[in-house]
Structures are given as structure tokens and as C-alpha cells.
Amino acid sequence: MRPGPVAGALASPPGPMQPIDEPPLSVELIAARYGALVARLRRAAEGAGRDADRFRVVAVTKGFGLPVVRAAFAAGLTRFGENRVQEALPKIGALPDAEWHLVGRLQANKARPAVRAFAWIHSVDALDLLRRLDRIADEEDAAPSVLLQVNVSGEASKAGFEMAWALDQARRRGDLATALDRLSAVRVVGLMTIAPAGASIEAARGVFAALRRLRDALEQLVGRGLPELSMGMTADAEAAVAEGATLVRVGTAVFGPRPE
């Protein structure tokens, strides 16, 4: 049977973020878009001489309701990203077998529900938050995988550790190295960054290359593997994969413009 439109998904009259020619989402359409995205990223990886099986797509469902997430799961997608803990909880409750990633900034007062709900937390941007997550994870008997967010571009509007600070801390075995050594439940598995909005592909690729080099240096300095690099979104996913991204956070290329 041909899948029909998903109830409530881009079905309202088009607005500023809903182009007139945007079709209703269906299982079939999501599967087709996802397949095209993965094929494009595989070509980018192969063109850069990288392992095309190394990256995974995190389908970002921020702003989309549960019917869309259900349709995506039916289309074969199993890895989803959300920006806000409260918005994600009903979706996670409905699809607990999916792999859920928190990709937005995490407020300290949402740390406990985040640890309970998410297998991955991409946006740890302070040592106090890292320590808090570790304490809560120990209390909850959880072991989320977390990534340290790095503000590679140095933009004042972006969260994240400064690159120079992270390197200096690792070299001197400072607070960052100490915090990593003392973790008991949380697993720090890599780094995350966001390229500047509107950056050219060349500029975005430079940001991603810098994060990869930082990761390589930190691995040597702190003596632990950091295999994951969360970088790239719809506009710069190919550049991210070319520079070694292992997790690519994509929403629009799969689901279309986010509904208002």
C-alpha cells in the first residue's frame, strides 16, 4: 500500500517556513530523502578519501510532531536528534527503541531528565555541567555518551569550550584532564561543533578540519580515544563528512522546512 501523508505534518496552509511546493510528509518521502542524503554524503566521504561507512546521520526532529517521528521510524530511521529536553520526552516515550541524541544546549536544571532520556548528549559546554551529568548518571545507573562542544569559530553567540583553552588544559593536565580522569558513569566519546551560520563551504570545512585536529591532539595529550566528531548540518553536511564527521545532525534535508 502506498503510504499516505502523515497527519499534522506540513499539512497547514503554507507560511514563511512552509513553501507552497513543499509536499506533505509521508513514509515514502522521508525514506527517499534520507536515502538521497546518505548517498550524497557517501560520495563526499569517498571523494575525500574517507571511509564512507564511518558517518551516521542524526535526523533532527525539532519542531516536528510525533506523527512525523513515527513515519521516519517506519521509513527505517532509528537515530533522532532533539534540541530541547521537554519537547523530546513525549517522542522518546512513544519510540523508546530509537536512539535519541540531545543536540541542543543543555541547561543544568534539565540535566537529570536528559540523562534519563537520552543515550547521547552532544552539547556539554562546561566542566560543571560535565561533572553534574556524571554525578546524576551514577545516581540513575545510566551511562550516556557525551561530546564536548567546542566553539571553533570563536563567535560570542556560540557556546562551547575555547580551542586554545582545551589544548592548554590538556597539555598542563589541568581541570579538563582532571575532570575526564574522574568520570565514573558518563563516557566522553568525542567533540562537537557548529560552523558559523551562512559560512561558505570552504570556511565551514576549515572549522571542521580544526575540530578534527583538536580531537587528534587531545587524544594524544589525555591518553584516551575520542572517536566521535559531531559536526555538520543540512547546509554543510558534505563538508563535515569530508573532514571526518562521524555524526551529522540533519533535519531540513530529510523533513523539509520546520513548521511554525
User: How far apart are the C-alpha atoms of 55 and 50, rounded to whole Å?
Assistant: 10
User: What confidence score (pLDDT) does residue 228 get?
Assistant: 98
Task: Indicate whether this model's pTM tops 0.85.
Answer: yes
User: What confidence score (pLDDT) does residue 227 get?
Assistant: 98
Parallel/antiparallel/unpaired status of strands 99-102 and 56-60: unpaired
Which residues 6+ apart lie within 8 Å of 82 measured at CB? 60, 61, 62, 88, 91, 100, 101, 102, 103, 104
Q: With beta carbons less than 8 A apart as the criterion, state whether 230 and 183 touch.
A: no
Q: In the CATH scheme, what is the code of domain 27-254?
A: 3.20.20.10
Residue 150 DSSP class: B
User: What confidence score (pLDDT) does residue 144 get?
Assistant: 98
User: What confidence score (pLDDT) does residue 260 get?
Assistant: 67
Residues of the chain whose pLDDT is less than 50? Answer: 1-19
